[in-house]
Amino acid sequence: MYSFVARQPILNQHQNLVAYELLFRDSAENVFPQIDSEYATKKLVSDTFLNLGLNKIANDKVCFINFTETAILQSLPLLLPKEHVVIELLEDIKPSDELLAQVKMLAQRGYKLALDDFEYNDAWERFFPYIKLIKFDLRLSSMASIKAVMDRCRPHKMKYLAEKVETHEEFQQAKALGFDFYQGYFFSKPEMLQQKELSHSQINIMELLAEVNKAELNFSRIDNIFSRDVSLSYKLLMFVNKLVKSNAKSITSFRQAAVYLGEEQLKKFVSLIATTQTDLDKPSELYLMSVARGRFCENLAALHKTNILPSNAFLAGLFSLLDSLLDQPLESLLENIPIDDEIVAALLQQQGPLAQYIAAIGYFEKGQWQDISEIAAALGLTTEKMSKCYLEALSWANSFTESTSQ
Distance (Å, rounded) from C-alpha 267 to C-alpha 261? 9
Strand duo 85-89 + 112-115: pairing: parallel
Q: What is the pLDDT of residue 48?
A: 56
Contact 109, 84 (CB under 8 A): no
State the Cα–Cα distance between residues 321 and 319, nearest whole angstrom: 5
Confidence of residue 54 (pLDDT cuts 50, 70, 90): low
CA 103 to CA 125: how far, in whole Å? 13
Q: What is the DSSP string of 186-206?
A: GGGS----TT----HHHHHHH
Please tell me the distance from the alpha carbon of residue 395 to that of residue 391, in angstroms, as a whole number.
Answer: 6
Write the pLDDT tens digit of every residue in 315-347. 899 899 988 888 888 888 888 778 889 999 999
Q: Could you give the CA distance from residue 311 to residue 332 in angstroms, rounded to a whole number?
A: 22
Give the pLDDT of residue 39.
59
Residues 75-93 pLDDT 10s: 888 888 898 899 999 888 8
Percent of the chain with pLDDT over 70: 84
Is residue 397 classed as helix, strand or coil in its secondary structure? helix
- Domains by residue range for the chain, with CATH: 2-188 (3.20.20.450), 200-404 (1.10.3210.10)
What's the pTM value of the predicted model, to 2 decimals?
A: 0.79
Rg (CA), the chain: 23
Measuring CA to CA, which residue among 381, 368, 315, 345 is closest to residue 4?
Answer: 368
DSSP state of 249: P
What DSSP designation does 216 have?
S
pLDDT score for 177: 94
Q: Are strands 85-89 and 133-137 parallel, antiparallel or unpaired?
A: unpaired
Cβ-defined contacts of 48-52 (< 8 Å, 24+)? 48/5, 48/22, 49/79, 49/80, 49/81, 51/3, 52/3, 52/5, 52/391
Length of the chain: 406
Give residue-wise pLDDT tens across range 118-137.
888 889 999 999 999 999 99
Evaluate the CA torsion angle 345, 313, 393, 399 in order and state its sign: negative
What distance in Å separates the CA atoms of residue 242 and residue 404, rounded to the nearest whole number? 9
Cα dist from 106 to 60, 72, 86, 135, 153, whole Å? 22, 9, 11, 19, 20
| pLDDT-derived band at 194, boundaries 50, 70, 90 | very low
For strand 17-27 and strand 2-12, is the pairing parallel, antiparallel, or unpaired?
Answer: antiparallel
pLDDT band (50, 70, 90) for residue 197: low
Tell which residue, 2, 11, 56, 8, has the closest CA to residue 31: 2
* Residues 166, 44: Cα–Cα separation, whole Å: 26
The string of DSSP letters for 323-376 reads HHHHTS-HHHHHTTS---HHHHHHHHS--SHHHHHHHHHHHHHHT-HHHHHHHH
pLDDT tens per residue, range 226-261:
877 777 777 777 777 777 665 566 777 777 877 788
In angstroms, the first-to-last Cα distance of the chain is: 40
Judge contact between 132 and 149, C-beta under 8 A.
no
Helix axes 230-243, 219-228, angle to 10 degrees: 120
What does the pLDDT average to over 152-166? Answer: 92
342, 352 Cβ separation under 8 angstroms: yes
CA distance 174 to 191: 17
**The pLDDT value given to residue 295:** 93
C-alpha–C-alpha distance, residues 135 and 181, integer Å: 9
Distance CA 286, CA 293 (A): 10
| Alpha-carbon span 361 to 302, nearest angstrom | 15
